[in-house]
Amino acid sequence: MNKLKAFLLEKKRPFIFLTTLGFLIYLPSLFFQFSYLDDNTLILDHYFFLKDLKNIFNAFKLDTFYNFLNQSYYRPVLTISFLLDAQISQQSAWGYHLTNIILHLVNTSLVFIFLKKMKIKKSLAFFMSLIFTTHPVLTQAVAWIPGRNDLLLTFFSLASFLSLDKLLKKKKDKNQKKGKQKNLLFFLSHLIFFLLAIFTKETALLLPLVFSSYLFINKQKKTTTGETVQILIITWILGTILFFISRALAFKNPMSWNVTEIGKSLLSSWPAVFLYLGKIILPLNLTVLPILKDTNIFISITGFLILTLLLITSKNKQLKTLTFGIFWFLIFLIPGFVRPNQEIIADFLEHRIYLSFSGFLIIISQIDLVKKFKPFRKKNLLLTIAIILVLATKTIFYSRNFKNRLSFWQKAVKGSPHHPLAHKNLGAMYYLDKNLEKAEEEFRLSQNLNPKETMIHNNLGLIYMDKKMYPQAEEEFKKEIEINPFYDTVYFNLGLLYQKQSQTQKALETWEKTVALNPNHLTAHTNLAILYLEQENKEKSTYHINQVIQRGGQLPSTLVEALNSNL
């Protein structure tokens, strides 16, 4: 063992080096803002919920996006993580970015341990962990705040897996009591991390299949008893049942999933496997909102064929380990291909590869060329440094696309010019920046790509309302309602339009519709309370005031004075 190898791999030094390198790469993201892809909804729009620590348990009663209709995402642990961030960072992005960085640093260490458990040499496992730390395809998971979901999923999944490995490979302890305590600790930690994983993202419901496959790999080692395996299986089943019961209790209006449509979406999306593989092998075609139509699959397929050829020609591969790596890679990747609504263009966000990436590292560890590679030998050292340096540099530059909402959506349009969502949201960013001409141009481009794209007519209505073109604005809002009848924001905006035209009764009716669709729309409740107060309807005004108070919202001085005087 040469001096450099001994220095890097001694005791805790691999973990120190991995975390230090990762922190330096992602340090700039501490100064990034919100991207306005999901983070505005998850954090800014619902800060009234996140700012109150008492809502920790209420997170288990809600759809993650706070939807009251077509509820589909049940991820309470993610919501709780944002809630904890909000106690320190409030509505500033730095605290949420810091948590993402910390989670990535922890995950790099867990990946290192995981790879060693898969019988990969320590020096090679360390080199692969460096690749995990620096690889630009994982940038979105860290630099984009909602990428937190896959950071948490990976943390809990790896921690649960490593606890299971400890339990399966337990050594006999002379002190039987102490041995039983250790086994109980490993079992409880495995169970707790498994539960946290499934309450973080639905993909984790597939973890028992991964665990079972690992049990199969180790079945001949006789390191655990049949009784332990039975207890584990029962535990996984009970945990899964608990998830579905909690979800059923939380969701009053769950989205209906058509199995046929899901099957169609999987069939239409399968080429995305090559998309992800290509970005891992040759990370050149990176973008923040990728779709198949704007992706060069040829490069990806070429990379896949080279990888396949190397694996086929490798004589020293361990088939069980290779199969496990392939299984790990695919089982955590493919669920992201499911699209219950075929009318929506499927995107393949890069953060979804985060957990699967560990499986890819297992796969390439079975290539003879990789197995023989000794990264810290003098003749290989320059290559090792070059690979890590290139990956790190690419990540640093690529991460800049996440620095603010305008940079993010400009990159989305540049990388996916045929995606209506990219043009729509870039238009929304221009609108927020008061650039109405560019905003309308992007909305029209989105509409040309998909005439039924939701929110477009609402956004055009806002532009016309700002220009005081009220009849045109009303027409656009009503067109949006025809396409998207359960969109609470369009009713709210239509109410604003009616208020501007002194059509008070119509404003009341549309805002009542707003809060019926979204009881958490605090501005609508506030506006209703003010209008009802002006009409001397004390009962209804009080009701909406209480709705704002119950949800932790801020009342304007007019309503505070009215409340103090008992209306």
Cβ contacts of residue 447 below 8 Å, gap of 6+? 420, 453, 456
- DSSP state, residue 59: G
Reported confidence tier of residue 221, pLDDT bands at 50, 70, 90: low
Reported confidence tier of residue 229, pLDDT bands at 50, 70, 90: confident
Question: What pLDDT, on a 0 to 100 scale, did the predictor assign at position 171?
Answer: 58
Cβ(138)–Cβ(349) below 8 Å: no
CA-CA distances (angstroms) from residue 159 to 88, 155, 190, 245?
26, 6, 7, 24
Question: What pLDDT, on a 0 to 100 scale, did the predictor assign at position 11?
Answer: 81
Question: What pLDDT, on a 0 to 100 scale, did the predictor assign at position 177?
Answer: 67
- DSSP state, residue 204: G
Question: What pLDDT, on a 0 to 100 scale, did the predictor assign at position 378?
Answer: 84
| Pair of tokens at residue 556 | 């304007």
**Position with higher pLDDT, 221 vs 521:** 521
Question: What pLDDT, on a 0 to 100 scale, did the predictor assign at position 259?
Answer: 77
- Per-residue pLDDT of 365-406, as tens digits, reads 999 999 999 998 888 899 999 999 999 999 999 999 999 999
- Per-residue pLDDT of 262-313, as tens digits, reads 788 888 888 899 999 999 998 988 999 999 999 888 878 888 888 999 999 9
Q: What is the DSSP string of 443-468?
A: HHHHHHH-TT-TTHHHHHHHHHHHTT
pLDDT at 438 over 70: yes
Cβ(145)–Cβ(100) below 8 Å: yes
- Per-residue pLDDT of 319-373, as tens digits, reads 999 999 999 999 999 998 887 666 778 899 999 999 999 999 999 999 999 999 9
Alpha carbon distance 223, 465 (integer Å): 71
Q: Which of 254-263, 285-294, 490-499 shows the lowest per-residue confidence on average (mean pLDDT)?
A: 254-263
Question: What pLDDT, on a 0 to 100 scale, did the predictor assign at position 552?
Answer: 85
pLDDT at 228 over 90: no
Tokens 């039975």, located at residue: 230
Reported confidence tier of residue 554, pLDDT bands at 50, 70, 90: confident
Give me the mean pLDDT over the 535-561 stretch.
Answer: 89
- Per-residue pLDDT of 236-255, as tens digits, reads 999 999 999 999 999 998 88
Share of the chain above pLDDT 70, in %: 96
Biggest distance spanned by C-alpha atoms of the chain: 85
Helix (H) or strand (E) run with residue 223 in it = none
Give me the mean pLDDT over the 71-80 stretch.
Answer: 95
- Per-residue pLDDT of 136-179, as tens digits, reads 999 999 999 999 999 999 999 999 999 999 988 765 555 666 76
Cβ(440)–Cβ(428) below 8 Å: no
Question: Residue 512: exposed, middle, or buried by beta-carbon count in 10 A (0-12, 13-18, 19+)?
Answer: middle
pLDDT at 429 over 70: yes
Question: What pLDDT, on a 0 to 100 scale, did the predictor assign at position 370?
Answer: 93
**Position with higher pLDDT, 218 vs 450:** 450
Cβ(519)–Cβ(547) below 8 Å: yes
Question: What pLDDT, on a 0 to 100 scale, did the predictor assign at position 168?
Answer: 84
Question: What pLDDT, on a 0 to 100 scale, did the predictor assign at position 519?
Answer: 93
Question: What pLDDT, on a 0 to 100 scale, did the predictor assign at position 223?
Answer: 55
Question: What pLDDT, on a 0 to 100 scale, did the predictor assign at position 558?
Answer: 81
CA-CA distances (angstroms) from residue 5 to 374, 378, 387?
10, 10, 17
Structural domains for the chain: 405-564 (1.25.40.10)
Can you give the pTM of this predicted structure? 0.93
AA letter at 98:
L
Give me the mean pLDDT over the 97-120 stretch.
Answer: 97
Question: What pLDDT, on a 0 to 100 scale, did the predictor assign at position 298?
Answer: 82
Alpha carbon distance 191, 25 (integer Å): 33
Cβ(479)–Cβ(471) below 8 Å: no
Q: How many CB atoms lie within 10 A of CB 95?
A: 19
Q: How high is the mean pLDDT of the chain?
A: 92
Beta-strand (E) ranges in 245-287? none
- Per-residue pLDDT of 445-460, as tens digits, reads 999 999 999 999 999 9
Reported confidence tier of residue 8, pLDDT bands at 50, 70, 90: confident
Give me the mean pLDDT over the 497-512 stretch.
Answer: 96
173 three-class SS: coil
